[in-house]
Amino acid sequence: MTASTNKTSPKRRLLLASDRTDHSSELAAILQSVGEVETVATSQIPEKPDQLSGVVVDINLRSPESVQMVRNRMRSEAYREMPRLFVLADALHHGAMQAWALGATDTIWRPFDAQGILQRIRAAFPDASEYDETDRGKSLNRGVEAAHAVMVKIFEKLPAGQPLKFDDIVQAETRILKAIKHSSLREWLTTVGCHHHASYRHCLFVTGFAVAFAQHLGMREDDQRRLARAALLHDVGKAFVPLAILEKPDGLTEEERAAVRAHPRRGHEALVAQGGFPAEMLDVVLHHHELLDGSGYPDALSGKEISDIVRLTTIVDIYAALVENRSYRVPYTRLKAFTIMEEMGGKIDQQLLQAFRPVAVGIG
């Protein structure tokens, strides 16, 4: 039968591979609203896919048999560059590590939110007719401008006594999320990397990595916004540290080092006094230099005392610092920076770090 070429024909052809096809019926119904869907058992994944837009894999990621089956069936050259979306049991499911090892380009999770899934599908398997390419530059510029405006309020207006409001952060986040989603992390980093103000540049790097990581993990949009806010604000306390210390090209004195180490508490105190900031944002501001083994500061927290959002922010904060230009050293390569963090062992969440690998090492 000849395929129809009228305007109502599906724009995408998706393969839904499942180790329990009956378990995937709800997902198949959702996918059908954005394209033509063929559901197959993992043992029936074709070796040579025919004009597929992408693959959605819905398997038990804790099952060695299911994982090995998918790995074997999708190892051919034809699948190498094909987008792969994996289904997780939940947003923080440790199966995410296995999904990335199998070449995931994005993830979704149960219980399904139809609208959220459709957004993830459109992002994972883009259809050129849905997005005007000329908007990429506009979205990027608007996002950077919005983030820059927040930096001005943090580092210039706040120390001068002008209030920083939670709404100031909220107003910027939508443009930032859109900029990174519709352009790329690489373009974001290139643009903000030209910034002459190192403190601005670092916060914008951390924000870019945090948002890209959240989108890579398939987090719901509300969680992406939470991470964008936390990243923008994490170093607010540095607004109270003299610029001469922050950008000093050689080693710091003990007094200067103490001034820098005081920035988490100073930022926390400023936001508490201001009022209106969520507890988790205050947590990130105060604790993003804490380490899992208790060797961090200012409160020497350890293990379960450190929240997930702090753990994630700490990882992107450390990574951003390593790959940035600094006045006292040249930047590390992406791979070297990631290796250094692996060598930190139990100081940081190594499972979360491995989930960050595709974002860190394979910046797109």
Place of tokens 């998918």: 70
In this predicted model, what pLDDT tens digit does every residue of 178-200 receive, in sequence order? Answer: 888 877 888 898 888 776 678 88
What distance in Å separates the CA atoms of residue 147 and residue 199, rounded to the nearest whole number? 13
Q: 3-class SS at 39?
A: strand
Confidence bin at 1 (pLDDT 50/70/90): very low
At residue 241, does pLDDT exceed 50? yes
- Torsion sign (Cα): 52, 56, 59, 63: positive
| 207 touches 313 (CB < 8 A) | no
Q: Which domains does the chain have, with CATH numbers?
A: 13-130 (3.40.50.2300), 135-361 (1.10.3210.10)
Mean pLDDT of 293-303: 97
**pLDDT above 70 as % of the chain:** 88
Give the C-alpha distances (Å, rounded to integers) separating 269 from 94, 225, 321.
35, 23, 24
Q: 3-class SS at 82?
A: coil
What distance in Å separates the CA atoms of residue 92 and residue 106, rounded to the nearest whole number? 13
In this predicted model, what pLDDT tens digit does every residue of 91-108 receive, in sequence order? Answer: 555 666 777 778 776 677
- Token digits of residue 186: 């690489």
Report the chain's mean pLDDT, rounded to a whole number. 85
- Token digits of residue 206: 């951390």
Q: What Rg do the C-alpha atoms of the chain give, in angstroms?
A: 22
